[in-house]
C-alpha cells in the first residue's frame, strides 16, 4: 500500500541494520541494475519483480484438501514470491521485511471473538474454526491496489460457513474484521503509520458470497506468518487490502464499519474497493497490472475477472462507491 505521506519510521530503522544492508545488496545486484540501464524501466519496478529466495516451504501440510470449482487455471506465482513480498504493515512497510520480522510471531494459542449483532456471541479457538468445514484449495487471482498481482493456491473454506454458525440477527448488515493488536510482537504497531489495530469490513451479502474465503493455508500448507497466520480473509474481487490478516475479532454491525485505509486516506481508498480498471487511484491508473515475476503488464479486469459478484453491485455507481 502506498500513502501520500512517508511512513513515520523508515524501514531502515525498524530492521536490524545487517539484515537491511544484505537485502539492499541483493537487490542492487548487477542483473537488476544492468536491466534497468538497458530498458530504462525504473529500478524500483524491476526490483519488485524479483523476490530473494529466502523462505523454503517450512510449514505443516494440510491434509484432505478438496479442489474448488472457483480455481483459476492460470500459472501460480512462485511460493518464494508469495511469502517474501508481503504487505503487512503491523510488521513493516517494506514488503521484503514481514517474512523475517514475523518469524517468531506466536499464532497459538489464538482465539477469535464473534460478537455484535449475532445470536451466538462466542470466543472460538482458531483450531475449532479451522475444523468447521472441509478445507478447499482455491487458486485465486489477487490484485493489490498498488498495481501488482499474484495467483495463489489458498487453503480455507467459504466465510459463510462461519457466519451461518454465528447466526446473525436480521439487523446485522455488515461484518467487521479486526487484526491482533500486540505491539510487542508487531513492530509496525509501535509506529503511527496506520491507526491500530487494522480493521476491515464487508457488507453482509459480500461476506456471504461463496467466493469470500476464510483462509488458513497456502500451497497445501499452514499459512506462513507473513501471509496472515493463523486466520485471514481472502476476497479475490477486491483490492488486496480488504483481505485482513491475523484476525482476532469478527463483529456484526448495523452500520458500515470504518476500515483502516479509508480512515487513513479517504480520497484514495474507499469501503468497497472492488478491482475496477475504470476507476483510477487519484495518483495512478488502475487499467493495468503486473503479475509478480512477469515483465510486461496485463489489462486489469473488472472485479478482477470474478464476474459472479457483479449482481451484488447492480444499480450502484461504482465510481462513487470506489
Residues in contact with ligand MTE by the rule CB under 6 A: 1, 86-90, 144, 179, 198, 227-228, 240-241, 243-246
CB nearer to ligand MTE: give 117 or 262. 262
* Closest CB 89 distance from ligand MTE, rounded Å: 4
Beta strands in the chain (DSSP E): 66-67, 111-116, 122-125, 136-143, 148-158, 174-179, 199-203, 213-218, 221-222, 232-234, 247-253, 288-291, 298-299
Q: What one-character-per-residue DSSP string does 156-184 give?
A: EEEHHHHHHHH-B-TT--EEEEEE---TT
* Closest CB 254 distance from ligand MTE, rounded Å: 24
CB nearer to ligand MTE: give 153 or 228. 228
What residue number has its CB nearest to ligand MTE? 240
* Closest CB 167 distance from ligand MTE, rounded Å: 26
Non-local (6+) Cβ contacts of 170 within 8 A are none
CB nearer to ligand MTE: give 90 or 206. 90
* Closest CB 311 distance from ligand MTE, rounded Å: 25
CB nearer to ligand MTE: give 117 or 202. 202
* Closest CB 219 distance from ligand MTE, rounded Å: 12
* Closest CB 282 distance from ligand MTE, rounded Å: 17
- What backbone torsions phi and psi does residue 248 show, to the nearest 5 degrees? -120, -10
* Closest CB 86 distance from ligand MTE, rounded Å: 3
CB nearer to ligand MTE: give 117 or 244. 244
CB nearer to ligand MTE: give 27 or 144. 144
Non-local (6+) Cβ contacts of 213 within 8 A are 138, 140, 154, 156, 157, 158, 159, 233, 234, 235, 236
Q: How far apart are CA 155 and CA 259, in angstroms?
A: 25
CB nearer to ligand MTE: give 114 or 186. 186
Q: How far apart are CA 87 and CA 94, in angstroms?
A: 8
Non-local (6+) Cβ contacts of 247 within 8 A are 112, 177, 178, 179, 180, 228, 231, 232, 233
Amino acid at each position: 500500500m502506498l500513502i501520500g505521506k512517508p511512513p513515520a519510521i523508515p524501514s531502515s530503522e525498524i530492521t536490524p541494520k545487517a539484515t537491511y544492508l544484505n537485502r539492499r545488496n541483493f537487490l542492487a545486484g548487477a542483473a537488476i541494475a544492468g536491466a534497468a540501464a538497458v530498458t530504462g524501466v525504473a529500478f524500483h519496478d524491476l526490483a519488485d519483480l524479483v523476490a530473494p529466495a529466502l523462505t523454503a516451504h517450512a510449514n505443516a501440510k494440510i491434509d484432505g484438501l478438496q479442489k474448488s470449482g472457483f480455481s483459476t487455471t492460470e500459472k501460480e506465482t512462485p511460493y518464494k514470491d508469495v511469502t517474501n513480498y508481503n504487505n503487512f504493515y503491523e510488521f513493516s512497510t517494506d514488503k521484503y521485511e514481514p517474512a523475517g520480522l514475523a518469524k517468531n510471531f506466536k499464532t497459538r494459542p489464538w482465539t477469535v471473538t464473534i460478537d455484535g449483532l449475532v445470536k451466538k456471541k462466542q470466543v472460538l479457538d482458531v483450531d475449532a474454526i479451522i475444523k468447521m468445514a472441509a478445507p478447499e484449495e482455491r487458486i485465486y487471482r489477487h490484485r493489490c491496489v498498488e498495481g501488482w498481482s499474484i495467483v495463489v493456491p489458498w487453503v480455507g473454506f467459504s466465510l459463510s460457513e462461519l457466519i451461518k454458525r454465528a447466526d446473525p440477527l436480521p439487523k446485522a448488515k455488515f461484518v467487521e474484521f479486526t487484526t491482533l493488536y500486540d505491539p510487542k510482537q508487531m513492530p509496525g504497531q509501535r509506529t503511527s503509520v496506520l491507526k491500530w489495530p487494522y480493521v476491515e469490513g464487508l457488507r453482509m451479502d459480500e461476506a456471504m458470497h461463496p467466493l469470500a474465503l476464510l483462509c488458513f493455508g497456502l500451497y497445501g500448507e499452514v499459512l506462513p506468518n507473513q501471509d496472515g497466520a493463523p486466520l485471514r480473509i481472502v476476497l479475490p474481487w477486491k483490492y488486496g487490502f480488504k483481505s485482513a490478516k491475523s484476525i482476532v475479532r469478527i463483529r456484526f454491525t448495523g452500520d458500515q464499519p470504518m476500515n483502516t485505509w479509508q480512515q487513513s486516506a479517504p480520497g484514495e481508498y474507499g469501503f468497497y474497493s472492488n478491482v475496477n480498471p475504470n476507476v483510477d487511484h487519484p495518483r495512478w491508473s488502475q487499467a493495468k497490472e503486473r503479475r509478480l515475476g512477469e515483465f510486461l503488464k496485463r489489462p486489469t479486469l473488472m472485479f478482477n475477472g470474478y464476474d459472479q459478484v457483479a449482481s451484488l453491485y447492480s444499480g450502484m455507481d461504482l465510481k462513487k462507491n470506489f
